């Protein structure tokens, strides 16, 4: 389904309804604002004539990033509040999302659980940088919210401060890609910044020594988990759920500001090995964000939602 609201949503909705109706599921779990609406509405309708379908919803950054004081924000949050009547359980992937939901939508009317995203064991295998690897990597959507413009500006400033050239790779696609290519040329970085189309994260990790996530807003980004699990040093902004991933080492995070990113890039480029030592402990990371922990949490949430939907009582104590 497309990110923005448009005429294509009608076809998407029809396909989703037919899929749910055909599968006759016991549980429907929707992710993101649009997926959450489809899952809960069609889960309600499809289960009306037989048994009750358990409807779960995981809010993500998209709608929660809107300003509650704007007309669009008020519209989205009013819809979120309305849809909560058709929700058996909210399943958050970060405490940031849970807090933001409470602040902008209101106290949940149904049980709410927190279950972090998880990575499989192979994703915790270190990724070595290729012999001709660049200094820094940006990987993600080419859009302002993700901060590729901050990455480019900080790279130029870091070169100036270090007094030597730095190399970078930018992996991703988006409507603003042309703008970023033009900015790289304006700053005289064209011979040192390579652009690549989207590719699997672990392939991209081989292209550079240090990953930079300069986002202006996030929820619980997988790319941060994937980077740290792959034993790659990274520079990231202190937004959304990223501080929850870094835990005790969150002081290394910076504001989404070119000057602050520059400082970290200078520090990393001066001694990549020393900078890598400041990253979170990978064993601790795996214990909190491994796929086994995620699976156990989701399984408990599904069982509780199904029991509650069919007249039982809620058992798990994960909503604090």
Assign residue 140 a region (left: φ > 0; alpha: ψ between -120 and 50; beta: otherwise).
Answer: left
> In the chain, what are the domain boundaries?
8-118+291-309, 121-287
DSSP letter for each residue of the chain:
--SS-STHHHHHHHHHHHHHHHH--SEEEEEHHHHHHHHHHHHHHHTTTSSPPEEEEE--HHHHTS-TTSHHHHHHHHHHHHHGGG-SEEEESSHHHHHHHHHHT-S-SS-EEE----B-GGGGS--PPPTT-EEEEEES-SSGGG-HHHHHHHHHHHHHHHTS---EEEE---TTHHHHHHHHHHTT-TTTEEEE----HHHHHTTEEEEEE--S--SS-HHHHHHHHTT--EEEBS-TTHHHHHGGGGGG-B-S-HHHHHHHHHHHHH-HHHHHTTSPPHHHHHHHHBHHHHHHHHHHHHHHHHHHHTT---------
Q: Between 53 and 1, name the one with better pLDDT.
A: 53
Report the alpha-carbon distance of residue 232 to residue 209 in Å, rounded.
7
**How do residues 114-158 score in pLDDT, each as one tens digit?**
999 999 999 999 999 999 999 999 999 999 999 999 999 999 999
Residue 66's pLDDT is 75
pLDDT digit string (tens) for 181-222?
Answer: 999 999 999 999 999 999 999 999 999 999 999 999 998 899
Confidence of residue 318 (pLDDT cuts 50, 70, 90): very low
Q: Which CATH number fits domain 121-287: 1.50.10.10, 3.40.50.2000, 3.30.750.24, 3.40.1350.10?
A: 3.40.50.2000
Burial of 133 (0-12, 13-18, 19+ CB in 10 A): middle
pLDDT digits (tens, 9 = 90+) for 225-271: 999 999 999 999 999 999 999 999 999 999 999 999 999 999 999 99
- Asked if the domains 8-118+291-309 and 121-287 are classified in one and the same CATH topology, the answer is yes
pTM reported for the whole predicted model: 0.85
pLDDT score for 317: 45
CATH fold group of domain 8-118+291-309? Rossmann fold (3.40.50)
Q: Kindly indicate the confidence band of residue 224, based on its pLDDT and cuts at 50, 70 and 90.
A: very high
């Amino acid at each position: 389904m497309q990110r923005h609201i448009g005429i294509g949503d009608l076809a998407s909705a029809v396909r989703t309804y037919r899929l749910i109706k055909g599968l006759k599921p016991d549980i429907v779990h929707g992710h993101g604002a649009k997926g959450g609406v489809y899952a809960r509405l069609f889960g309600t309708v499809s289960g009306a004539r037989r048994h009750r379908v358990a409807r779960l919803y995981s809010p993500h950054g998209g709608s929660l990033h809107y300003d509650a004081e704007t007309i669009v924000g008020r519209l989205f949050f009013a819809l979120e509040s309305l849809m909560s009547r058709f929700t058996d359980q909210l399943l958050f992937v970060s405490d940031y999302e849970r807090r933001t939901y409470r602040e902008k939508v209101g106290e949940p009317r149904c049980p709410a659980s927190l279950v972090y995203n998880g990575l499989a064991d192979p994703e915790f295998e270190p990724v070595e940088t290729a012999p001709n690897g660049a200094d820094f990597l940006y990987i993600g959507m080419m859009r302002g919210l993700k901060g590729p413009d901050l990455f480019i500006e900080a790279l130029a400033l870091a070169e100036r401060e270090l007094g030597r050239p730095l190399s970078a790779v930018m992996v991703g696609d988006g409507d603003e890609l042309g703008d970023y290519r033009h900015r790289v040329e304006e700053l005289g970085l064209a011979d040192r910044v390579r652009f690549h189309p989207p590719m699997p994260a672990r392939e991209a990790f081989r292209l550079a020594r240090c990953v930079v996530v300069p986002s202006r807003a996030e929820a619980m980004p997988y790319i941060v988990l994937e980077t740290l699990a792959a034993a790659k040093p990274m520079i990231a902004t202190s937004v959304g759920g990223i501080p929850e991933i870094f835990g005790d080492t969150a002081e290394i995070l910076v504001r989404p500001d070119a000057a602050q990113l520059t400082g970290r890039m200078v520090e990393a480029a001066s001694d990549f090995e020393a900078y890598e030592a400041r990253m979170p402990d990978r064993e601790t990371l795996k214990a909190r964000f491994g796929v086994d922990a995620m699976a156990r949490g989701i399984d408990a949430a599904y069982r509780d939602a199904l029991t509650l939907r069919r007249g039982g009582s809620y058992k798990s104590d994960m909503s604090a």
